[in-house]
Structure 1
Amino acid sequence: MYLLFIFLIILIIISFTIGRYPIYPKELFKYLLSIFNGNIENIPSEIITIITQIRAPRIIAAVFVGAALSIAGSNYQALFQNPMVSPDILGASQGAGFGAALGLFFTLGYSTTSFLAFSMGIIAVTITYLVSLKFKIDRILGLVLSGMTIGSIFSALISFIKLIADTDNTLPSITYWLMGSLASTKIGDLKLIIPPVTLGIVISMILKWRMNLLTMGEEEALTMGVNVKVVRLLVVVSTTLMTSACVSITGMIGWVGLIIPHFSRILVGNDYRFVVPTSGLVGATFLLIIDNIARTVATSEIPIGILTSFIGAPLFLYLIFKKGYD
């Protein structure tokens, strides 16, 4: 795990140096040293702008989003005792997507649109959870079925917004946003993503040992003294906060929350005391690599959601052939 952390730090440093305007490591360390010395007058203004206004926000966002989606995926895979679930199973991504589409349709501005997406993601999962309470026998099945239903409704609403949107301006904006991207991330956006993601990660780290008991089944967890209802609610709340915050800034990024927990279990086993933090580190590293590819491999930036699907799907097929799932 320590090696993963060290590799992530090295990758973050490398990410600052690559791009359409390359910054040599010497210039980067000179800039960092000047910050500590309180003297940045000798640093070219374009380097300061590129590092602080362009690369730093998207690198920080990539690390937080990758970690959050991966931990969210591991949480849900433990909660539902199913390795095939992902963070959008309860409708958070679809709800946030509808909120963003609505904001873009009414041209509400980037900040307002992001906040609306975050709010709608939380609303979607809240509705899912309230509907699932009607299932008296199998609450887990109730959550899954309610999530599928609410998610489908919000997906239909997204399609309706796209249908009536202006085809020259609004529709392309909605379509591009739904593909997922970190290109528009600014320093101000970090205020919306860092607090809820940090809170969600802290809750997940506190609950990580209880995840092992949840995988054994509800009755076994109860006999071990775990308040399953409270733990289940905390898992749903923390995962919803992380997923909604990520989608509100980056758009829909698939596969990260599905495949990264599998690789984490390959590395550290099935003990969620190690799976949860490992998922965060591997997810942050994975998404940062994908973002570096997205902004350097072609003349125009590739939406990150396309790359995660293009790379994630074959990786998942590899896991299926390697491990097999009954």
Structure 2
Amino acid sequence: MKRNLLFPMLSLLLVLTVAFSLTLGKYPIMLNDIGNFFLMKMFGAGSMDPERYSLLESLLLEIRMPRIIAAILIGASLAVAGTAFQAMFVNPLVSPSLLGVLAGASFGAAFGMVFFKNWIAVQILTFLFGFLAVLFSVGIARIHKGNTILLLVLGGVISSALFTSLLSVIKYIADPYNQLPAITQWLMGGLSLVDGKSLLAAGIPQTASIALVILFSGYLNALSMGDEEARSLGIPVEGIRLALIFLATLMSALTVVLAGMIGWVGLIIPHIARMLVGPDNKILVPASALIGAIYLIVVDDISRMIFTVEIPIGITTALIGIPFFVIILRKAKKGWN
């Protein structure tokens, strides 16, 4: 695909995907009705029965649009975080969960559900423990001398194991009739509980983090060549890596705050984008953001429409991601750029 056409085409595809997704649901809506509604809402043009207008306002602005915006933010955030981690660690098989952020955030959510029973407290603890897990990983890497990348990976393995174990403890002591089902549902991921306040609170830092990673994408090109090569170019490797880890952690933790655990996106989307645009992170990172957003909207549509009951989106992303991961493992033997 020609680069000068890539982003207009992906942007158009995103708009079309959003428009199509707005029509889907237990109460289907025609595209012309959606167009008429937004013309009236934004410009006061046209006419519509007041009851019909009120119904569309509720369906589109209060139910479907927040869910679609959440899918855009989460898909873009996980894809960009995955792209950044794969470049930083020079490994095609890493994902945003590498340093333990998803395990820590999941523990925080479960802890909040058991001991606080307040939705705001649950979201705050989800975010804080996601960051704490990554700080734990980085701390392990900092107290030992040696290969920084290897130590960070090992720190992430230890952190993930620790918080996964703590999550098991929380699940064991949780009320099996009320709290445990809620924790299990949360861990499977879903966009049905997204609301406007949470979307606004998480969306601003997520968007800012995505923009900053795109801004730093030139540094990702240098880091993907290895630390010594990057230092020879005058790049402060440790500082840049920590800044990028912070941004990737921030956006990843906020995805768990919004929708629980949604895996595989940060692993497979960077590869799809790389096959389309090549390894240059200046192009790859924004392309990953757009493709991730489109992908998660489509997956959410499948999750809520394929059966009479909604499937948790984390299950759907796993079912799609696992066969793709098998392909990645096969190609990884040949090397990766």
Q: What percentage of aligned pairs have identical amino acids?
A: 40
1:153 paired residue number:
162
**2:245 pairs with one of 210, 223, 236:** 236
Which of 83, 107, 121 aligns to 1:74? It is 83
* Correspondence 1:141 to 2:167: no
Q: Secondary structure at the match of 2:208?
A: helix
Q: How does 1:261-272 map to 2 (within 5 A)?
A: 261-272=270-281
2:22 is aligned to 16
Q: CA deviation at 1:35?
A: 1.4
1:46 aligns with 2:52: no
Mark the runs of 5 or more structure 2 residues left unpaired by the alignment.
Answer: 1-5
Unaligned runs of at least 5 residues, structure 1:
none
How far apart are the structure 2 equivalents of 1:177 and 1:233? Answer: 29
1:281-320 to structure 2, matched below 5 A, reads 281-320=290-329
| Aligned residue identity for 2:33 | E
* In 2: Cα distance, 1:38 partner to 1:92 partner: 46
Q: Distance in 1 between matches of 2:250 and 2:148?
A: 21
Given candidates 110, 118, 121, the residue that maps to 1:109 is 118
CA distance in 2, matches of 1:280, 1:48: 29
Provide the TM-score with structure 2 as the length reference. 0.93
Among 79, 84, 95, which residue is 1:86 paired with? 95
> 1:32 is matched by which residue type in structure 2?
F
Instruction: Name the residue aligned to 1:97.
Output: 106
What pairs up with 1:170-319 in 2 under 5 angstroms? 170-319=179-328
- Specify the alignment match of 1:167 in structure 2: 176
Report if the CA contact (8 A) 2:92-2:332 is conserved: no
Give the match for residue 39 of structure 2. Answer: 33
| Shift, 1:205, TM fit | 0.8
The alpha-carbon deviation at position 298 of structure 1 amounts to: 1.0
Q: CA deviation at 1:164?
A: 0.8
* Residues 1:269 and 1:178: Cα distance change in structure 2 (over 3 Å): same
Greater alpha carbon shift after TM alignment, 43-52 vs 261-270: 43-52
Q: How many residues align?
A: 326
Q: Deviations over 1:223-263 (max 9, x none)?
A: 11111011101110100000000011111111100011011
Cα RMSD for the two superposed structures: 1.5
Q: Distance in 2 between matches of 1:322 and 1:81?
A: 15
CA distance in 2, matches of 1:129, 1:239: 14
